[in-house]
Amino acid sequence: MLNLIFALALLFTSVEMVCLPAESEARTHKGSTASEFKNPTPKPTPWRRTKQDEKKYQFYQRYFRKDKEVTKKDDLATTEEERKMMLKKILPRHTPTPEDDRHAKEIRKLIHDLGTEHHRRQTAIERLVMLGEPAVPALRKALGHTYKFKRVGALQALGYIHSKAAIPDIQNLLGDKESVVRLEAIKVLGRMKHKASVPKLIKRLEDPNKRVCREVVIALGRIKTPAAIQGLIRALGHAGPEIRLLACDELSFFAGEKVVIALLSTTRNEDQDVRIAAIRALGEIGDPLARPQLKELTKNENHMIRQEALQALNNIQ
């Protein structure tokens, strides 16, 4: 009897040892291990507003929310100085970010590319114009570089950015020793239509380089102030016939007694092309003051002068 009981106890023990591993595997999730089931990943803690964030929120609610009515006058800053002091206490100061540092490195590289070959210089100018005002200090510094084309590239970028802070530096380059730099400085001032630069531009009409003088006339025509018109009238007496011809073309967009009288005197110029340009300008203006002299020109021995005078008279009538 004792032997039977001992045999049954041994049988039940062996059955329990065989079934335990199967039960432990059944308790685990599908596709996961037992260790993952016992130690699950903890849930992230929800975001909570800190005391500093609460101060900022209250400050914005008080001073920047227009739609909120504040009943307690003690909570508001009574003066602008007090508001600025509150702003300094609550809001953190701006510190350079990696983004600012990246732009600074990029600007230094682009300024270096201004002194390289043409296609790299043009690509650098386009990128500097896209960056805008942050690139202006570096561009102003580049205006003093010894390499002329680096100065030209900096001028082009500043002209497209339309930086008023760089105008004094641009004006200084009107007397640069390199004609290509003077030419670009005049283009930039004309593109920006800077009225205060007109006297300095008129002085460049005496430049030995004809291209520079030609660009001065174009810039004065863009600015369109009384002083600029007076400069164009002065250009009618330039030594170069191509400059006088271009001045006639620019004056055709302006009206006034002074302009008409100056063009009438130019119709007696020794250069035939300049006389024709002056007659055409008078026809474009259409001032009756020019009719008597134009009638006299219809009897000129030169058939081209007669033809242009008749066309101008038709425009005036």
Looking at residue 72, what is its pLDDT? 41
Looking at residue 104, what is its pLDDT? 85
Contacts 24+ apart (CB under 8 A), 129-132: 129/157, 129/160, 129/161, 131/103, 131/106, 131/107, 132/161
- Residue type (1 letter), 296: E
Q: What is the CATH number of domain 100-192?
A: 1.25.10.10
Q: Taking each helix axis from N to C terminus, what angle separates 241-251 and 210-223, rounded to the nearest 10 degrees? A: 10
Q: Judge whether 284 and 277 are in contact, CB under 8 Å.
A: no
Closest CA to 174 of 128, 132, 218, 206: 206
Q: Judge whether 252 and 280 are in contact, CB under 8 Å.
A: yes
How far is CA 137 from each of CA 111, 115, 161, 163, 297, rounded to the nearest angstrom?
11, 17, 12, 10, 57
Looking at residue 65, what is its pLDDT? 46
Cα separation, 82 vs 98, whole angstroms? 32
Cα separation, 7 vs 10, whole angstroms? 5
Looking at residue 163, what is its pLDDT? 87
Q: What's the half-sphere exposure (Cβ side, CA atoms, 13 Å) at 30?
A: 0
Looking at residue 24, what is its pLDDT? 47
Superfamily assignment of 195-317 in CATH?
Leucine-rich Repeat Variant (1.25.10.10)
Residues 6+ apart with CB under 8 A from 277: 244, 245, 248, 249
DSSP character at residue 175: G
Residues 6+ apart with CB under 8 A from 205: 213, 216, 217, 231, 234, 235, 238, 243
Looking at residue 144, what is its pLDDT? 93
28: left (phi over 0), alpha (psi -120 to 50) or beta: beta
Q: Taking each helix axis from N to C terminus, what angle separates 118-131 and 148-161, rounded to the nearest 10 degrees? A: 30
Which pair of tokens denotes residue 309?
Answer: 């005078």
Which pair of tokens denotes residue 284?
Answer: 């474009």
Looking at residue 5, what is its pLDDT? 61
pLDDT in tens, the chain (317 residues): 556 565 565 555 554 454 444 444 444 444 444 444 445 555 555 545 566 666 655 655 555 444 444 434 444 445 556 655 655 555 444 444 445 556 788 899 999 999 899 999 999 999 999 988 889 999 999 999 999 999 999 999 999 998 889 999 999 999 999 999 999 999 999 999 999 999 999 999 999 999 999 999 999 999 999 999 999 999 999 999 999 999 999 999 998 899 999 999 999 999 999 999 999 999 999 999 999 999 999 998 999 999 999 999 998 86
Looking at residue 34, what is its pLDDT? 47
How far from chain centre, in Å, is Cα 172?
A: 21
Residue extents of the structural domains in the chain: 100-192, 195-317
One fold for 100-192 and 195-317: yes
